[in-house]
Chain A
Amino acid sequence: DAGVIQSPRHEVTEMGQEVTLRCKPISGHNSLFWYRQTMMRGLELLIYFNNNVPIDDSGMPEDRFSAKMPNASFSTLKIQPSEPRDSAVYFCASTLDVGGAGANVLTFGAGSRLTVL
């Protein structure tokens, strides 16, 4: 398996522009997570899906951020309009959650580095 695939790897855009980040989870995984990492705030969980349904989006900063998972093999994180403070590395992760005891073990993608000028 190619792992979790994210695109683009790097994006530079101007304030006010729309940004769309994409993620392809590992085939067969049923849970998908979006994180944001900055030096100041570390790794923050933005939202996660289970079986394509958003379960917890309490980490989404504000209405400018939205995430969708139209099917089991694709998810997007959209920022509209983007602001300089959105500059960060955005990670997507996935796991197979079959319930039962234990904690989720996540497989992360390589990340998308966003710079908003």
Chain B
Amino acid sequence: NAGVTQTPKFRVLKTGQSMTLLCAQDMNHEYMYWYRQDPGMGLRLIHYSVGEGTTAKGEVPDGYNVSRLKKQNFLLGLESAAPSQTSVYFCASSNQGRPLHFGNGTRLTVT
């Protein structure tokens, strides 16, 4: 049982480059979330989805786009990376009223 899988685990980008982070869950969860965590800080919600084909903005959505074309996948895109987006990105999934299950994160550095 893989749970929540994030790819890649590490990435280094130059300012202005684009990339997509992939989150996959095998628990048939309805809800999926993308968080970012900066050093010494708690997690902040970027975007979330309450079902296939739906997305919504979280606390810090600027500079990111998301898509949920399949129920099991939630993609996070950076169209033009900036150094301020250097962070660890966590994906999570859940069903209504149930605990969130998190992946182990993607460490992104933007130079």
Chains A and B belong together in one complex: no
Interface residues of A (CB under 8 A from B): none
